[in-house]
Amino acid sequence: MTDNEATKVANDAARESASTLRALTNVDQHDVCVILGSGWVPAAELLGTTVADFPVTELPHFSPPAVAGHAGRVRSIDADGTKVLVFLGRTHLYEERGVDAVTHAVRTAHFAGCKTIVLTNGCGGLDPQWSPGTPVLIRDHINLTGVSPLHGAHFVDLTNLYSPRLRAMCQELEPSLTEGVYCQFRGPMYETPAEIGMVAAIGGTLVGMSTALEAIVARSLAMEILGLSLVTNLAAGMTGEPLNHEEVLEAGNAAATRMGDLLARVIRGL
């Protein structure tokens, strides 16, 4: 199908970013993109040998990060010959820069050559068995943001959005990994306990503020997608305690080594 004008604008911007990325990294084609969300950034060290590392803002069309703990860097990593394009931090919908800003890294990765994308996030969990620091594979998502990252009459199939092949591979590497259904909210507020009740009723088990819109764009660009959540807190109303952003970051740091080791093995297994 031919892209509409808005899609063309977004893709042309991403082509420019990918071109500057090639110049700054000296890597002509990347193979795999990894977007590291809250809790996952410290895991970057374990993925392989860093070839280049710079602020995302050195690439055209990227916005500066808005939140402490969201690093906003790009790194090119060599993982035993696999060229990995890592984004440390992402743009969120609640920053109000629009859906193209949220998905720009995904489009850039596509034009940089990536056929596979690993989307990671920190999130709340609805399963009381998931203590803070538990990694969960995303099996499917529910987009509760009320927006689409696609432009025009672009009818994209979303069945098996999160690659069954990659999920099976992860479970072979790490048999204890369970799966969940990720619900993306707009944020930036966490949910009310009643909203968590709704999520449970519609079949969601993970709640966060990212990933689904990125996965939709990645699918529209025919990338193979792996989604990995790090449950950093039990969802609102489940513990009797209020949710706290600092605790969320701490749970991520504490789980970083385990997450980095898992991601490194996944990338080498791709």
Which residues are marked as active site? 191
CB of 211 to ligand 8IG, least distance (A): 10
Three-state secondary structure call for residue 41: helix
Residue 27 Cβ vs ligand 8IG, minimum distance, rounded to whole Å: 31
- In whole angstroms, the minimum distance from the beta carbon of 235 to ligand 8IG comes to 5
Binding stretches for ligand 8IG (CB under 6 A): 38, 122-124, 185, 187, 190-191, 207-209, 232-233, 235, 243, 248
Which CB, 79 or 231, lies closer to ligand 8IG?
Answer: 231
Amino acid at 230: L
Judged by beta carbon, residue 77 or residue 123, the one nearer ligand 8IG is 123
- The angle that helices 99-111 and 212-220 make with each other, rounded to 10 degrees, is 40
Q: How many helices (H) and strands (E) would you count in the chain?
A: 6, 9
Secondary structure of residue 220 in the 3-state scheme: helix
In terms of CB distance, is 111 or 130 closer to ligand 8IG? Answer: 130
57 touches 71 (CB < 8 A)? no
Task: Give the separation between CA 127 and CA 235, rounded to whole angstroms.
Answer: 9
- CA dist 95 and 41 (Å) reads 19
**Running DSSP on this structure, what letter comes out for residue 249?**
H
Nearer to ligand 8IG, 111 or 190 (CB): 190
The least CB distance from residue 53 to ligand 8IG, in Å, is: 24
